[in-house]
Amino acid sequence: MKALHYLGPQEMVYSEIPDTTVGVQEEVVVAINASGICGSDLHVYRGHHPERSVPAILGHEAAGHILSGPQTGQPVVINPLIACGSCKLCDSRRSNLCQQRVAIGWHRPGTFAEQVMVPKDNLIPMPQDMNPAHAALTEPAATAIHATRLAERALFGSIESTAVLVIGAGSIGLLSALALQAQGVEQITITEANAMRCASAARTGDWKIIDGAKAAPPPGAYDLIIDAVGSHTSRHIALSAVGAGGVVIHIGLADNDGAIDVQRMTRHEITLMGAYTYTAQDLEDALHQLHRGLLGDLSWIETRQLLDGPNAFRDLDAGRIAAGKIILIP
């Protein structure tokens, strides 16, 4: 079969590898129909994780259909987080925090390939009439929904009346804004430093856009900040823009640099909360919302063939992509 191989920083090749075969009874082979490029894949491509062994097959946002076993042909979405299922966190339905978890596309071969082996329990049945490219957004949509649910718990007022700033117009930022819009939030602002993505975000929803390359969000103006970038720059923007008693949800993992203004956080009772991936329920809800069109028409994605994957990574790395998400089609 064909796959994208990561060979090291800025090195990605499309090549032939042996077909996937089932080696464990509880696992099945899934044919990949669509797989999205995540920001974490781009971080690896840029060399931000030198500990990553090579060669490797990245990718974890995927939809496909089962190729082996009694459910052959069933369209599915993949949950790439494989938890232990027996620890305290798994028992409390917080398997995203399981300390024994392994991840498809990190610890195991990923979905930038024609086939991948997946535990049966990590497959979610997908509606037969659903576009696989849309279904491949289930993983990032679940991440966004998980973040907005954590935010709703932390806010003092109703989320509908909340003034929200979303930092970053990639897929997580856009899906967070769309999820909030679906919940009735009307005061949404997105800030993005890439002019092409600013234009794309402006066409995607009814919200205000701030070109981050030209202006900063007004200080203290927002009740809720969704930081979908997670850099030292975005954290500075977030903690400046959030108002007294406000909430900052930190999703992005661009870097671990920079100091945090703890004095302002304390004196203004600002809540800074991390949001990591999603629960199994978030995934099911995300698939349902995408299928029903509750997160928009998804016209802001771009599809490319898997064999064009090396060029897609180069274009993303250079900031030449307006789309919030590139979906690779084998």
Q: Quick one: 127 and 155 in the same domain?
A: no
pLDDT for residue 266 is more than 80: yes
**Rounded mean pLDDT of 198-202?**
95
- In sequence order, which residues have a C-beta less than 8 Å from that of residue 211 and are 6 or more positions away? 191, 192, 193, 195, 198
Distance, CA of 139 to CA of 287 (rounded, Å)? 9
- What does the pLDDT look like over 9-43, one tens digit per residue? 999 999 998 887 666 778 999 999 999 999 999 99
Percent above pLDDT 90 for the chain = 90
Q: Quick one: 10 and 90 in the same domain?
A: yes
Q: Quick one: 8 and 42 in the same domain?
A: yes
pLDDT of residue 68: 84
Task: Please provide the average confidence, as pLDDT, over all residues in the chain.
Answer: 95
**Rounded mean pLDDT of 46-67?**
92
Domain of 198? 144-274
Query: What is the torsion angle, in degrees rounded to the nearest 10, for the CA atoms of residue 168, residue 286, residue 292 and residue 132?
Result: 90
pLDDT for residue 293 is more than 90: yes
17 belongs to a structural domain: yes
**Rounded mean pLDDT of 100-112?**
95
- CB atoms inside a 10 Å sphere around CB 134: 21
**Rounded mean pLDDT of 175-202?**
96
For residue 149, give the CATH number of its domain. Answer: 3.40.50.720
Residue 144 contacts residue 172 (beta carbons within 8 Å) = yes
285 belongs to a structural domain: no
- What does the pLDDT look like over 71-86, one tens digit per residue? 899 999 999 999 999 9
268 belongs to a structural domain: yes
pLDDT band at 113 (very low <50, low <70, confident <90, very high): very high
289 belongs to a structural domain: no
Q: Quick one: 57 and 109 in the same domain?
A: yes
Q: Quick one: 78 and 175 in the same domain?
A: no
Q: Quick one: 267 and 152 in the same domain?
A: yes
228 belongs to a structural domain: yes
The dihedral region occupied by 10, where left means phi > 0, alpha psi between -120 and 50, and beta the remainder, is: left
At which of 234, 258, 274 does a domain end? 274
- In sequence order, which residues have a C-beta less than 8 Å from that of residue 101 and are 6 or more positions away? 81, 82, 83, 84, 95
pLDDT of residue 213: 94
pLDDT of residue 23: 63
For residue 305, give the CATH number of its domain. Answer: 3.90.180.10
Number of structural domains, the chain? 2
pLDDT for residue 258 is more than 90: no
Tell which residue, 138, 150, 140, 143, has the closest CA to residue 249: 150
Distance, CA of 215 to CA of 227 (rounded, Å)? 17
CA 165 from centre of chain: 18
pLDDT of residue 22: 65
**Rounded mean pLDDT of 144-171?**
95
Residue 42 contacts residue 316 (beta carbons within 8 Å) = yes
Distance, CA of 278 to CA of 273 (rounded, Å)? 14
282 belongs to a structural domain: no
Maximum Cα–Cα distance across the chain: 59
pLDDT of residue 49: 84
291 belongs to a structural domain: no
Q: Quick one: 29 and 149 in the same domain?
A: no
Q: Quick one: 235 and 322 in the same domain?
A: no
Q: Quick one: 16 and 120 in the same domain?
A: yes
In one-letter notation, the amino acid at residue 66 is I
pLDDT for residue 52 is more than 90: no
- For residue 120, give both structure tokens: 């049966």
Residue 231 contacts residue 252 (beta carbons within 8 Å) = yes
- Region of poorest pLDDT, from 127-131, 256-260, 310-314, 321-325: 256-260
Q: Quick one: 304 and 320 in the same domain?
A: yes
